[in-house]
């Protein structure tokens, strides 16, 4: 460590990535939007440390991350609740805290949910790619997944961190994930009885879920009303694609921009997709019909 304003990765965790608001507007080039999966937790983390809303943060998966500060910085951890320690001393989760120079920040295992967000005042200033500092696991664009010993540069501090009303618990991880679904554009590819079962049945979050999509298991398989395959079509965030096994897949931030399996409906961006980012394997999933 040379005294520069930075954080060194001491323990990278199961999967820690840099994320910001993503890179919209490049689907025609085959580039997904990417960005933070739990957008509310991401926004809160940046507000708590006084960052611009598009500043880059760390998104951890299940078991957190360990970082060492080259110089004193202010950080906040949101998203999945977890123990936060500075050089072994417990500090507040969901509030701005000061990390002295040379101290280690330990973001622990998620007590519920999946993904925690670590914001530092000034933001992580790794070089942007197509205007974003997000790591896209599907296309490989953006910064590499940080490994142990990686040094993450931090930008200049902005205004004072937000205090008071913003220091509030974020919504917890869902015990049941309820996803409002706008039918279409290919709902007519499925048997009416299968669509009726979709609205009244429960699925479970599959362990195969990731930043690309939330996969389901254990629910009724959607039977097609017509044979054959579609030509590849454009895909959007929240599209619910149905592969040949008949089990719905909800596309998340790193989703492909095209696909050939029929889309039975779309989950609108917002709190439901934020909740999907925090739903652990085995959590029940229900789809509710929403008018277009």
Mean pLDDT in order along the chain per 10 residues (292 residues): 78 98 93 95 94 97 98 96 97 95 98 97 97 95 97 88 58 88 96 95 97 96 92 95 97 96 96 96 96 72
Map tokens 């460590």 to a residue.
1
User: Helix, strand, or coil here: 277?
Assistant: helix
Q: Please give the Cα distance from 156 to 176 (Å, whole number).
A: 41
User: Are 35 and 21 in contact, with CB atoms under 8 Å apart?
Assistant: yes
Question: Residue 229 has what pLDDT?
Answer: 85
Q: What is the pTM of this model?
A: 0.94
Beta bridge partners of 130: none
User: Are 3 and 70 in contact, with CB atoms under 8 Å apart?
Assistant: yes
Which tokens belong to 230? 């579609």
Question: Residue 216 has what pLDDT?
Answer: 98
Question: Residue 162 has what pLDDT?
Answer: 63
Q: Please give the Cα distance from 55 to 123 (Å, whole number).
A: 5
How far is residue 185 from each of residues 50, 118, 182, 209, measured CA to CA in Å?
A: 41, 37, 9, 23
Closest CA to 268 of 251, 244, 284: 251
Closest CA to 120 of 143, 149, 152: 152
Q: Indicate the angle between helix axes 271-278 and 39-48, nearest 10 degrees.
A: 90
Max Cα–Cα distance, the chain, nearest Å = 65
User: Helix, strand, or coil here: 273?
Assistant: helix
Question: Residue 292 has what pLDDT?
Answer: 64
In order of their start, the domains of the chain are 6-153 (no CATH), 177-289 (2.40.100.10)
Question: Residue 2 has what pLDDT?
Answer: 47
DSSP string, 158-219: -SPPP-STT--PPPPPPSSEEEEEEE-SSGGGB-HHHHHHHHH-EEEE-TT--SSEEEEESS
DSSP string, 91-118: E-SSS-EEE-TT-EEEEEEESSSS-EEE
């Amino acid at each position: 460590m040379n005294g520069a304003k930075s954080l060194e990765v001491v323990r990278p965790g199961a999967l820690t990535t840099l994320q910001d608001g993503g890179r919209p507007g490049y689907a025609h080039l085959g580039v997904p939007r990417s960005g933070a999966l739990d957008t509310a937790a991401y926004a809160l983390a940046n507000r708590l440390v006084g960052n611009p809303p598009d500043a880059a943060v760390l998104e951890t998966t299940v078991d957190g991350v360990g970082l060492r500060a080259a110089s004193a910085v202010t950080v906040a951890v949101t998203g999945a609740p977890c123990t936060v320690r500075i050089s072994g001393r417990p500090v507040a989760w969901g509030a701005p805290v000061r990390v002295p120079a040379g101290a280690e920040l330990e973001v622990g295992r998620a007590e519920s949910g999946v993904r925690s967000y670590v914001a530092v005042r000034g933001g992580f200033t790794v070089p942007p790619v197509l205007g974003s500092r997000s790591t896209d696991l599907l296309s490989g664009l953006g910064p590499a997944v940080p490994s142990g010993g990686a040094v993450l540069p931090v930008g200049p501090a902005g205004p004072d961190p937000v205090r008071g009303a913003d220091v509030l618990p974020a919504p917890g991880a869902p015990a049941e994930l309820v996803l409002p679904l706008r039918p279409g554009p290919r709902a007519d590819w499925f048997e009416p009885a299968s669509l009726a079962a979709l609205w009244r049945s429960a699925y479970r979050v599959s362990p195969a879920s990731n930043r690309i999509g939330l996969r389901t298991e254990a629910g009724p398989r959607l039977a097609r009303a017509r044979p054959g395959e579609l030509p590849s079509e454009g895909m959007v965030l929240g599209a619910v694609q149905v592969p040949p096994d008949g089990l719905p897949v909800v596309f998340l931030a790193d989703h492909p921009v095209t696909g050939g399996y029929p889309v039975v409906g779309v989950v609108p961006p917002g709190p439901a997709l934020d909740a999907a980012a925090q739903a652990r394997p085995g959590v029940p999933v229900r789809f509710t019909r929403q008018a277009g």
